[in-house]
Amino acid sequence: MHILYEVADGRARITLNRPEKRNALSPRLLEELEAALWDADDDKRVHCVILRGAGPAFCAGYDLKGFGTSSDDASVETGPPRRAGRTIDDDSWMLERNNRRLRALWEMHKPSIAQVHGHCLAGGTDVALYCDMVIVADDATIGFPPARNLGALPNNLWLYHCGPQWAKRLQLTGDTVTGAEAAAIGLAMKSVPAAQLEAEVEGLAGRLALIDPDLLSSNKRIINLGMELMGALTLQRLAAENDARGHLAPGTREYFRAVKEKGLKAAFRERDGLFGDGRARVHGPEIRDADGKLID
């Protein structure tokens, strides 16, 4: 099982459970996540969903070794040939499939809370921002480093949370912010000390458990419909195609060449090493040392 699922005290707790991979998103994990979300939405005992990650991170992004097949084990594939990302249409089709699975968080009637600790990177931000409320640890690390050389963001709710300028600042560089900074710019609802994160989320879930689920649904859905009138879901469809377009950029092709020649970890180190500590600063000037690290 790539997720853990439990129902208690008016809430469903869904835990991404690939700690050895920092909960990287694989096709199997996304399938299990989508099924669990709809199960929770159908369960009359559940008033809300808590989404969290096992181990040291919420989610480190998409498992780049796991996509391009319809399961985590390509050796079991049988039947007709399947899409493998060899054309721009194949690419956008697979990105849209992933988006549909995550969009269950948006479309389900019951509210969801993302409980974010450790790293929330790349696809991890896709998961968190589809949730209705995001509560983060102060020391969490949040951002989308693959925007530096691996296309565009396949989901893009950033604009609706932190506005166009911070969305551009973080997406155009792939730099990260802390949980406390994410809350300051609206990328998260709030941040708390890491030791208090679980209690904070559970406390909010407890208050939601006092409300009739049908009323929770009515109030969630009218806000989401308002965002849809502002183009939120249309933008997600466009984001998938835009990411497929980004995959054709010379810089992205160079990244894949580096992965093939040097391996995934070495290619990441080569890319991210140019950006020092890879951090943005929300408050105050960004003064850096010779290695590109922010000076406090």
- Vertex 276: Cα angle to 250 and 267 (nearest 5): 40
Q: Provide the strand spans (E) within the chain.
A: 3-8, 11-16, 48-53, 112-116, 119-121, 133-137, 141-143, 176-178, 190-192
The residue-averaged pLDDT of 195-217 equals 98
**Residue 109: CA count within 13 A, CB half-sphere:** 15
Residue 215 sits in a domain whose CATH number is 3.90.226.10
What pLDDT score does 66 carry? 59
The verdict on residue 264 lying in a domain is no
Q: Which amino acid is at 51?
A: L
Query: What are 39-81's pLDDT values in tens digits?
Result: 999 999 999 999 999 999 999 999 987 554 444 444 445 678 7
φ, ψ of residue 119 in degrees (nearest 5)? -85, 130
The verdict on residue 285 lying in a domain is no
What pLDDT score does 52 carry? 98
φ, ψ of residue 129 in degrees (nearest 5)? -75, -15
What pLDDT score does 67 carry? 54
Contacts of 228 (CB under 8 A, 6+ apart): none
Q: Which strand (E) or helix (H) includes residue 188? A: none
The verdict on residue 213 lying in a domain is yes
The verdict on residue 160 lying in a domain is yes
Expressed as residue numbers, the domain containing 69 is 3-245
Helix (H, G, I), strand (E, B) or coil at 62: strand
Query: What are 207-238's pLDDT values in tens digits?
Result: 999 999 999 999 999 999 999 999 999 999 99
DSSP letter string, 233-276? HHHHHHHHHHHHHHTTSHHHHHHHHHHHHH-HHHHHHHHHHTTT
What pLDDT score does 90 carry? 94
The verdict on residue 109 lying in a domain is yes
Question: What are the structure tokens assigned to 86, written together?
Answer: 């060899």
The verdict on residue 292 lying in a domain is no
Which range (15-19, 64-68, 180-184) has the least confidence? 64-68
What pLDDT score does 78 carry? 62
Query: What are 123-160's pLDDT values in tens digits?
Result: 999 999 999 999 999 999 999 999 999 999 999 999 99
Q: Which strand (E) or helix (H) includes residue 156? A: none
Q: Which amino acid is at 41?
A: D
Q: Is the pLDDT of residue 204 over 50?
A: yes
Query: What are 70-126's pLDDT values in tens digits?
Result: 444 444 456 787 887 789 999 999 999 999 999 999 999 999 999 999 999 999 999
The verdict on residue 295 lying in a domain is no
**Contacts of the segment 144-148: beta carbons below 8 A, 24+ positions apart:** 144/170, 144/171, 144/174, 145/121, 145/174, 145/175, 145/176, 145/271, 145/272, 145/278, 146/61, 146/122, 146/174, 147/171, 147/172, 147/173, 147/174, 148/173, 148/174, 148/271, 148/272, 148/275
The verdict on residue 91 lying in a domain is yes
Q: Is the pLDDT of residue 199 over 70?
A: yes
What pLDDT score does 73 carry? 45
CA distance 64 to 190: 30
Q: Which amino acid is at 186?
A: G
What pLDDT score does 70 carry? 43
Number of domains observed in the structure of the chain: 1
